[in-house]
Amino acid sequence: MSIKITKEIIEKIEGEAQLELVWGNGRVKDSKVKFFSYRGMEEIIQGRHPLDALVFTPRVCGICGHAQLMASVHALEDIYQNCGIKIELSQKAKKIRDLTLDCEIIQNHLKWYFFIILPILYKIKGKVFPKSKSFKALNATIKANKIIATFAGQWPHNSYMIPGGIVCDPTYVEIYQAKSYIDEVISFFEEEIVKGDINSIVHIKNIKELMDFEGFLKETVNIIQENDLAHLGKAHDRFIAFGENSIFEKGKAIKTVAKGVHPRYIQEESLDFTYAKNVTYNDRFYEVGPLARAMIASNTLAKSLHRVYKDSVLNRIVMKVMEIAYLSYQVRDTLECIDINEKSFIKPKVKIETLEGTGNGFAEAARGSLYHSIKIKEGKIDLYNIITPTQWNLGNSTKSEELSTIQQALLGLRNENEISLIFRSFDECSVCTTH
Amino acid sequence: MYKKSILWIQGITCNGNTQSFLNFPRLEIFTKQYKFLYHPYLESTLDINEALNYKEKIDFLIIEGAISKEFVRAGEIFYEKVKLLCKNAKYILAVGTCATYGGIFKEKDPKNITGVVYNKEESNGFLSEFRKKVFNLPGCPAHPEWIVYTIETLSAKGKLKVDEFSRPKEIYGYLTHHGCTRNEYFEWKVDTKNFGEKEGCLFYIQGCRAPITHGSCNKILWNEVSSKTRSGSPCFGCTESSFPRKNMFETKTFMSIPADLPTGVSKRAYLTVTGIAKTFHIKRLKEKLI
């Protein structure tokens, strides 16, 4: 058997990574992912005022900075709770935090789908994806970002969540503006992705119902099936999520059974050839992201797809695209039930710099679970640790008995088309991984 | 028709400027008018390694992120490659605070990480030999309109007015304070009692740097809708070389007045006006707006 090794730079993943593949008999036998740059965000934050973390951590990543902010504020609030000081959050603050994070996820998924996945799929069928469609999608992302900016001041990089709430105090003028922006996002989804009404789309239960709707999602499924890709890209069929909101639940799922999770079982491992650290839960590699979230929340469509396709590239892509619909629907709904008369911010009883202790914060970022852990000592940040979604999905196993999620997913693939589709289905983020 | 070329390359960055640029509302038209040799997200003529090794003339070289001599981009030493790109560029835009002064990522290793021309406020950045053709667009991130304005103006006129940090005056001649919806509270020295309120100025307690920060954030609104200070967040002074500062949610005071006063305002002038303003108790400004 001839063994061949190829190395390829994967670009436009918020930076780059090198994918090293070991081939045998025309198939991928093993793989390694290497990230080049390390920026040292955790060290940069050390020694600073605890609240300054809210300015630094969004700058971990240009595309998921809002999730970083959410994880950071949760970790700071957890320190209060661990010190026995109750943090009161109004429903208004909670809802607005959730909906702006939802918008960040929406814009991320739209960019991924229209700038990465659809162009790859079109290439597979020998066509060029029309640029005008990508720009139309970009226009929808601009609308989603306007919603974030309406409450948070700007996107990317705001710091509007603070322990005890949010800094903005919107009127219904802003609420209605945000509503019209989300309506525009929904219209785009309805016109291009599934030609149909979002109210029916969010209730799709199986692939048969899904294929009743014309549009890019149906085309996506068709291309994947026609090119025998539907069963590729299966990993360990293990999912994990730590963040929670009105749609997402925290938990882990092995095949389709979801259970509770606890951060004490999360482990990080440094490797000598890459700046990305491995991360495992109870010594096992898990998949994070939209498919994981859907499986853990027992989403009917995900479970129905899972019966046939398991955790394959088809299920992963479909659930990520569908998450745009679920979240847009959720944002519109949330905007309708915000009571602006509630407080935006309830000042914590003591200043955070007077506390000592540690806190854990989670958020579901676009690409999966994000974890921040903070230790405060003598009024300063003593230790800051960040674990990002791509670390979960793109590990490099050092054990013989188990491959990482991506290694397992790439195993047995035959050509560039398959590899690029499966690799990019995880929507990796280089800058997050090498924070 | 000849299209001017843009090559957008990244040093040590979070991608914030790249993502901010994607918010530009007229991007599709823009990409038809200019040729992207490389952009970290948009479709480009070259791949990343071809871009790093590009040997031809470039009309606009955009550098995002801080510079170090060791930093590796796509398997190559970034500093070695970017020098030749700089040589071949007609104009260089240092986009964002990291590219301008070193910014947040400079904090990791302050001695070995700089901006393109600047190293904080000193002009000895690792690529400062190219200073004559560098235009700095600090901001964490830079606003997409600032980037496009600079490219368009240089394309059309070949020059633009800059300040002492080579920042375009039409953007950075303003202070972030200009156009803030809380201006009246500043005038009458009424501070906000708490975060999460529409009323009051954030300059006195919450750490707002808007009166000391050059930028158009409250003139050219973010995402066309708002700004940090409008939404109730202090300005962190991210367009200045002092960013990131310490204790950013708190105003440093000296004898109970802000230690840093509005740009160009003498302490005497500030104290006089403050003293007078504070003697008037204007009921309307102490009340809720709604």
The answer to whether the beta carbons of residues A158 and A66 sit under 8 Å apart is: yes
What's the structural domain count of chain A? 1
**Domains of chain B, each with CATH number or no CATH:** 4-172 (3.40.50.700), 174-290 (4.10.480.10)
Mean of pLDDT values over A391-405: 89
Report chain A residues whose CB lies below 8 A from the CB of B40: 11-12, 14-15
Mark yes or no for CB contact B249/A157 under 8 Å: no
Query: Domain span at residue A217?
Result: 3-433
Confidence of residue A430 (pLDDT cuts 50, 70, 90): confident
- A305-349 pLDDT, tens digit each: 999 999 999 999 999 999 999 999 999 999 999 999 999 999 999
Give the pLDDT of residue B167.
98
Please determine, for residue A83, whether its predicted confidence score (pLDDT) is greater than 90: yes
Please determine, for residue A15, whether its predicted confidence score (pLDDT) is greater than 90: no
Mark yes or no for CB contact A111/B22 under 8 Å: yes
- B103-150 pLDDT, tens digit each: 999 999 999 999 999 999 999 999 999 999 999 999 999 999 999 999
- A113-148 pLDDT, tens digit each: 999 999 999 999 999 999 999 999 999 999 999 999
Helix (H) or strand (E) run with residue A144 in it: helix A131-152
Please determine, for residue A2, whether its predicted confidence score (pLDDT) is greater than 80: no
The answer to whether the beta carbons of residues A153 and A146 sit under 8 Å apart is: no
Mean of pLDDT values over A100-115: 98
Three-class secondary structure of residue A97 per DSSP = helix
Sequential DSSP letters for A316-337? HHHHHHHHHHHHHHHHHHHHHT
Please determine, for residue B21, whether its predicted confidence score (pLDDT) is greater than 90: yes
Confidence of residue A399 (pLDDT cuts 50, 70, 90): confident
C-alpha span between B49 and B73 (Å, rounded): 9
Confidence of residue B244 (pLDDT cuts 50, 70, 90): very high
Mark yes or no for CB contact B196/A36 under 8 Å: no
Give the pLDDT of residue A400.
75
Report chain B residues whose CB lies below 8 A from the CB of A168: 196, 231-233
- Torsion angle, alpha carbons of B129, B135, B140, B142, to 10: -150
- A247-285 pLDDT, tens digit each: 788 888 877 666 788 889 999 988 888 888 899 999 999
Mean pLDDT rounded to a whole number for chain A: 95
Half-sphere exposure of residue B80: CA atoms within 13 angstroms, side-chain side: 10
Mean pLDDT rounded to a whole number for chain B: 97
- Torsion angle, alpha carbons of B251, B253, B257, B262, to 10: -60
Give the pLDDT of residue A256.
63
C-alpha of B163 from chain center: 14
Q: What six digits make up the tokens of A131?
A: 């640029």
Choice among A56-65, A267-276, B89-98 with the minimum mean pLDDT: A267-276
Mark yes or no for CB contact B19/A63 under 8 Å: yes
Mark yes or no for CB contact B48/A9 under 8 Å: yes
The answer to whether the beta carbons of residues A159 and A183 sit under 8 Å apart is: no
Distance from CA of A142 to the nearest CA of B (A): 5
Report chain A residues whose CB lies below 8 A from the CB of B15: 14-15, 61-63, 431
Q: How many CB pairs under 8 A join A and B?
A: 191
Q: Which residues pair with A381 in a beta bridge?
A: A376
Confidence of residue A245 (pLDDT cuts 50, 70, 90): confident
Cβ atoms within 10 Å, residue B124: 10
**Residues whose CB is less than 8 angstroms from the CB of residue A122 and which lie 6 or more positions away in sequence, other chains included:** A128, A129, A223
Report chain A residues whose CB lies below 8 A from the CB of B217: 154
- The percent of residues in chain A predicted with pLDDT above 70, rounded, is 99
C-alpha span between B65 and B101 (Å, rounded): 10
Q: Token match 């109004």: residue? A: A90
| H-state helical runs in B36-101 | 48-52, 78-88, 97-101
Q: What six digits make up the tokens of B232?
A: 């109730």
CATH number at residue A11: 1.10.645.10
